[in-house]
């Protein structure tokens, strides 16, 4: 017996059309899920790489800062501050025969470029706090601002600290 109102063989045609539609919807859903999973995987790899590079930049900056402290501790304050100050005069430090040496310019380590900037410091005479803008009339000859920059792929990691003539304090 055939269903009422359907010509012979038409219910089979409708069934095949419905199966084709189900397959098309299933393929579309699976494709969307697969593409989403690929995007998440790509984003995870990209983020992981970025975190790894930032950690390496932080390590390089801290390493340079320790080299600066070691250099300062192994020399006189006058020799330590015998530099040209400001961003136009970058330096970097190199270990040679168990001694740190200061060189002019920047250093390249893999994809990273690092340098050190020395700046003079002035202090407020009433509070003794370091001022944000240098004032030559309030110069503190026993404190220097040190900025370590590590630059890579358009990104910059920076550590700023102040070093003092601790042997004089």
Could you report the per-residue pLDDT of 95-105, keeping only the tens digit for each? 999 999 999 99
- Banded pLDDT at 79 (limits 50, 70, 90): very high
Q: Does 107 score more than 60 pLDDT?
A: yes
Domain coordinates of the chain in residue numbers?
A: 10-164
Q: How many helices (H) and strands (E) does the chain have?
A: 2, 6
Contact partners, residue 30, CB within 8 Å, separation at least 6 = none
* Residue 64: per-residue pLDDT: 97
Give the C-alpha separation, 68 to 156, whole Å.
19
Of residues 11 and 137, more confidently modeled? 137
Across residues 83-94, what is the average pLDDT? 96
Mean pLDDT of 115-135: 93
Assigned token pair, 169: 């304090």
DSSP structural state of residue 5:
T
Is residue 169 pLDDT above 60, yes or no?
A: no
Residue 150, pLDDT above cutoff 70? yes
Query: What is the reported pTM?
Result: 0.74
Average pLDDT of span 153-166: 94
Mean pLDDT of 49-69: 95
Question: What is the mean pLDDT of the segment spanning 69-84?
Answer: 93
Rounded to the nearest 5°, which phi and psi values hold at 58? Answer: -65, -45
Distance CA 69, CA 66 (A): 5
Indicate the pLDDT class of residue 12, thresholds 50, 70 and 90.
low
Higher pLDDT pick, 2 / 113: 113
Per residue, what are the HEC states of 26-88? Answer: HHHHHHHHHHHHHHHHHHHHHHHHHHHHHHHHHHHHHHHHHHHHHHHHCCCHHHHCCCCCCCC
């Amino acid at each position: 017996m055939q269903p009422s109102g359907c010509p012979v063989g038409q219910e089979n045609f409708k069934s095949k059309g419905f199966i084709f539609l189900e397959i098309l919807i299933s393929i579309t859903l699976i494709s969307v899920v697969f593409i989403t999973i690929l995007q998440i995987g790509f984003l995870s790899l990209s983020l992981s790489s970025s975190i790894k590079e930032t950690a390496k930049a932080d390590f390089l900056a801290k390493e340079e800062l320790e080299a600066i402290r070691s250099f300062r501790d192994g020399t006189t304050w006058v020799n330590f501050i015998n530099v040209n100050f400001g961003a136009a005069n970058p330096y970097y430090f190199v270990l040679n025969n168990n001694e740190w040496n200061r060189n002019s310019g920047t250093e390249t380590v893999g994809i990273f470029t690092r340098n050190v900037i020395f700046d003079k410091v002035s202090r407020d005479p009433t509070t003794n706090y370091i001022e944000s803008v240098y004032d030559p009339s309030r110069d503190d000859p026993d404190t220097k601002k040190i900025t370590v920059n590590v630059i890579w792929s358009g990104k910059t990691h920076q550590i700023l600290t102040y070093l003092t003539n601790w042997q004089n304090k």
